[in-house]
Structure formats: structure tokens, C-alpha cells
Structure 1
Amino acid sequence: MKEDELMLYAVDHFFNAFGATIVVPLMIFIIALFLKVKVKTAVISALYAGVGLTGFSWIISEFTPVVTKIIRQMVNNVGIKLPVVDIGWQAGSLASFNSTVGLAFFVFGLIIEFLLFALGITKVFMPSNLWNNFGFMIWGTLAYYVTHNFWLSIGLSCFMLLYTLELAEIQADRWSSYYQINNTTVSAAQNIVQTVPAILLDPLWNCLGFNKVHFTPTSFRQKFGIFGQPTTLGAILGLFIGILGNLNRITSYQAWGQICQFAIQLAAVMTIFPLVTDIFAKAFKPLASSIDQQRQTVSNEASDPIHHRKRWFLAIDDGVGYGEPATIISGIILIPIMVIIAFILPGNRTLPVVDLISLPFMVESIVAITNGNILKVIANGIVWFSLGLYCSSWLGPVYTATLTHYGAAIPAGVVLITSFNLMARPLNVVVFAAFISKNPLWIGLCIIIYLGLLFVLRRYRPQIWTYLNQMAAKNAGTTTKSYQKE
């Protein structure tokens, strides 16, 4: 094995040994010291991050098998026979870290992220969310398997990073305002692209009157009292999904035992996840406040942060938003909807299963941009994720061959595998297709579009953020959360 490959695999073993619950808090501690946060506060922030990530891991690892079992029963009830089966994002993440291209991007991509921020090309400090870099690494890994071109594959991962940062900055003010952690945004490659339909389709939903519908957690509580609380809604949704999974034996007491258990389990997730989210959010609030203080110290511009040219954003894990009521409610509602759509969508070959539990992660940008309008979130999700099913269907053979090459095991009886969270991404797939074509025209077109959007963002950033806030304020029954200093 070459010396550079040994170095890359040493990095892989290091990160695997310590894991996200150690590496991410350590990164937060270093960034906090860089931002001149007191050592005591920096230590507490790091601990909160570790505790929050551990809490997320425990809840999701326990709940995923339960949801997966119900979904498989639901699938069997309706007789869905689809060859491309979603086995979850974890296998794709492992393959990324097992490939030379993936590891190379993990190391050098971190340097690129620092340079992009230092040179002012982006206002988003991405290294604070380095664990989600596998979202870029997986596309380079797939491209290398198809093309055997190392530099083209690295270039694809880098380009994915560039436009992800661009989208993260576009929605940054809206995201930080809605989720109430100043100067922060999410930047996971697999979840940020939902910014596109959330913005482009909003005028259509307004024409249909969706903005006038009171379909938010607040309106639920006002109209239905105890039945509008997240815990109660979790139980009701759990009963509904549980019944769908047990239609073929609905008269048996075993079925109702599972239905009632799932209702309590989903109610528990809807109750506990926001508590863990609050703990995780505490890790970033001192850092966000320090960014505010430094910006105000060096700037004599208007007090409105939208017009501050020195303002920048800390990229944080999207676990921070998972437990927010509108986010988790809309994500859970989309679970049975996407199973049904997978069954009726003409030409679809993908069966979403394990990654359906990631739907609250996947809709965060939509929730922020629509200001918590659950009806719009669901409508956007149906359109975008339906297109995503076609994308993952097309990529099924490539994804399966790549992951098998890097050691992933295919479950018994499954022909092809995918990750609904990683592969059901229309924009990512278009870029991927352009790069693996090796056609300079298509690759050049992608770059030109990116540069054009970058120019517009650099020149009209305040106007873009103002427009998104005005767009969010049009939604009835929502409260436009203004920027407030912590």
C-alpha cells in the first residue's frame, strides 16, 4: 500500500475509533476557543454536543428497527414488489470512508472548506460540521467506481461542496431565524437541496391557497387542545401507521398489541427528541452569540443583521432541528405517504424503508422556508421525493455495485440496494450525471450555473434573505420569528 494511502486509512481508523460523539465536540471546543469563548463555556458546549449526539444515536438506533418492521408489514400488505430496496444511509457512509477517493476528500476537503471561508467565497464555516462530509464523499466514490478517474471524482465531490455551501448560505438567515439559533445553518449535502423546491414551488402553493391554511403545531394546540400536543399527535400518528401495517390481521389481539406499542413508541420519540434537541442546541448558542459580538465590534453598519457584510454562519448538524414540532410532525406524516407513492408511481423501482426515519432531517430547509406550514412541507416533500425515487431507481445498479465493492453486505432476498436519504436527490443526480458523462459541455454548464448563482448571491444577499422572510410571513397561522440576539 502506498504511503499516501496509508495516511488516508490512518485517518479513517482514527475517526472510526473515536466516532462523531468525540470528534464533533472536540471540533466545537476548538472553534469556541477560536471565537474567544471562555474555556469553561467551551467545555460545556462541547459536552452538550457529545450528549446531544449520543441521545440522537440512542433514540434513532432504537426506533429505526421498530419503524422498519412496521413499514415492511405495510409493504407486504399491499404487495409491493420493487427491486431497489433502501437499506439506510449508514452503508453508504461506511463505503465512503473505505474508498481512497472518499478519504482523500475527507482530508483535503477540510482544507478546501477552510480556504473557501477564509477567501470569502462562502459565509458558511463548514469545518464545524465535518462529520457530514460523507454526503460529498459518497458521490465521488460512486463516480470513481463508474469512471475510474480519480481527479474527476474528487472534482465532483468538491463541486458538490461548492453548491451545497451556496444553498446553505441562501437559506441561512431563514434557518437560523426559524430554529432560533443565531448565525447558524445546516449544510449536509443530502438534506440541503430541499431548499430548491421550497423556494421555487412556493408561489404555486400560494396560488392554491396553501398559505391560508392554518396547519401548524401552534394551530393544532389552539384548535385541539391536548390532542394538538406533539405527544398526543405522535400517539395518533402511531395508531394510524400501526393500523396500516397490520391491515391483514387487524382482528387479532397480537396486531393491536403491536399497534398500541408503536403508538406509545412514536409518542415517546415526539416527546423525547425535542428535549435532546434542546440540549444539542445549547452547544452552539455560545458560539453564535460570540459571532454576533465580534461582528458588532468590527462593524459600523446598520443594526439589522441581514445587511451586515461581516456576518457569517456556523454550519451545524441538522440534528438540531429534528425535534422541532413542525419538522418532526411533517416528517412522520410523510412516512406512509412515501410508501404509498412508491407503490403507485409509474416507473418507480425504489422501495423506501430504513431511511424513512430520516424524513424530519430531510425536510428541515422546507420547514424553515415555509415558516412551519406543514401542508406546504408535505406538498414539497411529495413532489421532490417522488422525483428522488426515480433518481434512486436509476442509480440502484451503480450504488449496489459500488457498495458491494467496498464491503457492504446485501440483505438476503434483495436484488439492488439504495439509500433514500443519500440517493433520492434530483439536483445531486443531475450534477453526478453531468460529471460521469465526462462531457466538458455538461460539466462546464454546471460550473457556469454555479458561478452565476454565486454572483447573484454575493451581490443581492440582503434582498434574497428579505424576500425569503417576506415569503415566510405570508403563511397564515405561523409566527415569523425575527432575529434576536441571545
Structure 2
Amino acid sequence: MDTLLASVQYVLGLGPTVILPIAIFLIAIIFKVPVGRAIRSAIIIGIGFVGINLVIGLLSQSLGPAAQQMVERFGLSLTIIDVGWPGAAAGSWASPVAAILIPICLVANLILIFFKMTKTLNVDIWNYWHFIAAGATGFIVTGGNWWFAILCALIYEVLCLWMADKTQHLVENFYGLKGVSLPTGSTAAFGFVGIPIGWVIGKIPVIKDLHVDPETIQKRFGIFGEPMIMGLILGIVIGLLAGYEIGETFKLGVSMGAVMLLMPRMVKILMEGLIPISEAAREYMKSRFKGRELYIGLDAALSIGHPANISTGLLLVPITLFLAIVIPGNKVLPFGDLATIPFYVSFVVASRNGNILHSVLSGTVVIAFALLMATDFGAVHTAMLDGVYKFPEGASELSTLDMGGNFFNWIILKFSQLWETFF
């Protein structure tokens, strides 16, 4: 088992830019795509993800220090540190249950497709770590119950696939990703809570009539409404809140403008490689299974390039820090996951048709709940990261918004605690 786990961790350590092209190539061959075309599509998809990761890296490297400066400037003293999704992923992959859960979750997906219980073929193997995190949660809470850990992972996977199916029309119509669904664990879980909250906000008098989207802003404000200028302005505001000097503030603004401009172009490159595979999959399903439809499940990174999404995410950064201060009972200091907020609001933004105002209001409510769930998750999350992540100075526990503040995983936590209590 140790050898298997080490082998799995080595392969997964190569990251999605290697794993995804391999998976896409194999799927392309299964769906009868010519070998040359399959290789070309797989490589383009890999290059697209390299580009997306570079832009996300720029976002993280720029926002991370700014967030830390805001924390220090406003004197926040919260004892559970948000170490970010990379820490949660590392803890999940290091879990004893990781090696067996990958093939189990993959086979489970195929079985669900065969019995028409899902339309999503989830090829985003890297993000299986969310399923593994759920399994690891059950494993830790029950003191090492392997069967229960597998059950927890499968429950989480089914919930994500169900959400991916239910939101595919949003992904296709709003983000323009035809034949693609997004089963990413955190995106699905935050969307499950955020979509109905957004629906309620869209019914509130006065607020329901306010529509603020990138197109409206650009039409009304001209060049100042362009996505890159919006990014520049939001970056400058965050820099000022962090107490940066003028040069550093402007540098942060330019970086955020670059994110707004470059991300959609990186997604376009990835889609160039994906479209042939998606079309081949649909044709294959039509010929073999009349009337059936198949979606290719990919990373929610594909959605964050939309100007409404990234604008909502950036606006929620200072709001999240403010919520951490004022919410009674919260002990989580947001930090590592601030740059990934656009992932959490992907479905919310799409469900509000790009209305930034409605999306920010919805996101504010969702993140308020997420902070409290992440606080409740502190002890178990810390146990998962034991020996994997070094404790930051001043922290008594570790958690994340991505995993600890994730509604699906919190349900798994409560389920595991009930199981341990009664069984």
C-alpha cells in the first residue's frame, strides 16, 4: 500500500498540466478521434492549463502579500489560519486512503454514467482530491474506518456530479463552454448554497432591479469599464487597503488588470483543444446510445476568466476579511484561499447572469457561512495536515475556505461525527 501510495503521489505531483492531457488523449482515442488530432488537442489543452496556472499564480502571488498586509494593518488576531487549497490538497493526497480512492471514484463515475445517473464524465483527475478530502475526513473522525471513508468519498463525488449536471446549462450558456460541466468540489459546494441565496437576493425589491455587469459598466463608463481597467482599479483599491506605497499599489493594479485581460485568452486556447474532443464524444454517444448526452467534466478554472467572475472575486477579498472580524464565533483568518474566491462564486455569477452586484451580495452571505464552517472544521483539518504543513506563527489550528468552508465537506464532517457517536 505504501508503494502504491508513493506511486500515485508521484504521478499526481506532476500536476494537472501533465495529467489532464494524458486523460484527454485516452478519452479522445476511446471516442475514435484520429491519433494525430487527439495528440494535438491533448497538447493544446495542456498548454492552455499552463497558461491558466500562470495567470492564477500571478493572482495568488499578488493578492497573498496584499491580504497579509491588510491583516497586519488592521490588527486581526484570529487563531485558525486559512492555509489555502494547496495545503488541503497536500493533506488529502498524503492521507492513507488516497491511493484506493482514485480508482474507486473513477469506476464509480463510469458506473453512474452507465446507469444514466449522471451525464458528466469527470476527467479532471487532479481535483479528485476533493473526494479524497471527504474520505480522509471520515477516516480521521471514525478513527481509521476504511469502509466509511470510501462511503464519504462516494457521497461527495455523487453530490459534485449531480451539481455538475444541474449547472451544465449555466456553464454552456453563460461561459460558452459547450458540452462541458464543472464538477470541481469547492465550486459545486459553494454553488449549492450560493445559487438559492442569489435567487432570493434577486427577488428583493429595489435590489432586483439593479443590474451591474461588465457590459453595462463598459457601456456607461467607456474605457474605465473595460475588464483590464476594472482589474487595475480593483487592484489599486486593494493595495490602498493594504497600506501599500504608491508604486506597489499601482504594481498590484497592473497585475490585476493583467489577470482580467489574460485569463479569457488562456481559456480560449484550452477550448481550442477541447472542442474536437467534446464534439467527438457527443457524436459517439449519439451513435451508440441514441438520445443520450455526455458532458466532459473539467476544472472550474475554465470559468474564472469571465470579467464578471473575476470582478466579483476581487471585490469579495476585502469583504471576506471584514466578515472574519465581525462575525461572532469565527476564528478563521482568511489568507491562503482569498485568491481562489472566483472559483467559489462561478455558479453564483452564472446563475445571476453576470450581475456583479447580486453576485457580490450572494457571495458575502455564502462566505459568512463558509467562515463558520471552516472554524468548526479546525480540529479535523489540523489533524489531516499534521506533518504535511508547517504551523504558521500564532496559529493554534489550521483550516481552509476551500475544504473546511465547503458545505458538502461540512455535511460529511457532521455525518462522520454522528456515525462515530452512534456506531
Query: Could you say which TM-score interval applies, normalised by the shorter chain?
Result: over 0.9
How far has the Cα of 1:299 moved from its partner?
7.6
How far has the Cα of 1:238 moved from its partner?
0.9
**Residues 213-247 of structure 1: CA distance to partner in whole angstroms, max 9, x if unpaired?**
2211111111111000011001110111111010x
How far has the Cα of 1:63 moved from its partner?
3.5
Q: For 1:398, give the aligned amino acid.
A: V
Q: SS at 1:125's partner residue?
A: strand
Q: For 2:395, give the aligned amino acid.
A: V
Cα distance in 2, alignment partners of residues 218 and 291 from structure 1: 34
**Is 1:322 aligned to 2:304, yes or no?**
yes
Correspondence for 1:11:
8
- Structure 1 residues 94 and 299: CA distance shift in structure 2, 3 A: closer
TM-score of the superposed pair, with normalisation by structure 1: 0.82
Note the 1:87-98 alignment, pairs <5 A: 87-98=83-94
Cα distance in 2, alignment partners of residues 299 and 86 from structure 1: 46
Note the 1:100-249 alignment, pairs <5 A: 100-126=96-122, 128-148=123-143, 149-208=145-204, 209-246=206-243
Which residue, out of 335, 344, 347, partners 1:362? 344
Tell me if structure 1 keeps the 8 A contact 2:79–2:333: yes
Cα distance in 2, alignment partners of residues 207 and 95 from structure 1: 41
How far has the Cα of 1:433 moved from its partner?
0.8
Which residue, out of 385, 407, 416, partners 1:403? 385
Specify the structure having the higher radius of gyration (Cα). Answer: 1
Cα distance in 2, alignment partners of residues 216 and 423 from structure 1: 31
Tell me if structure 1 keeps the 8 A contact 2:164–2:182: yes
**Residues 250-305 of structure 1: CA distance to partner in whole angstroms, max 9, x if unpaired?**
xxxx71121111111111111111211211222221122223434555687xxxxx
TM-score of the superposed pair, with normalisation by structure 2: 0.94
Cα distance in 2, alignment partners of residues 393 and 288 from structure 1: 40
Q: For 1:234, give the aligned amino acid.
A: G
How far has the Cα of 1:69 moved from its partner?
1.1
Q: SS at 2:97's partner residue?
A: helix
**Is 1:257 aligned to 2:247, yes or no?**
yes
Correspondence for 2:45:
49
Cα distance in 2, alignment partners of residues 366 and 31 from structure 1: 30
**Residues 32-84 of structure 1: CA distance to partner in whole angstroms, max 9, x if unpaired?**
12222232322222112211221222233343232111111111222211111
Q: Which has the higher contact order (CA 8 A, sep 6+)?
A: 2
**Is 1:341 aligned to 2:323, yes or no?**
yes
- Structure 1 residues 63 and 200: CA distance shift in structure 2, 3 A: closer
Tell me if structure 2 keeps the 8 A contact 1:195–1:365: yes
- CA RMSD, 1 decimal: 2.0
Greater CA deviation, 214-223 or 274-283? 274-283
Cα distance in 1, alignment partners of residues 269 and 208 from structure 2: 32
- Structure 1 residues 291 and 212: CA distance shift in structure 2, 3 A: farther
Percent identity of paired positions between Structure 1 and Structure 2: 25
Cα distance in 2, alignment partners of residues 179 and 440 from structure 1: 44
Q: SS at 1:414's partner residue?
A: coil
Q: For 1:364, give the aligned amino acid.
A: S
How far has the Cα of 1:345 moved from its partner?
1.0
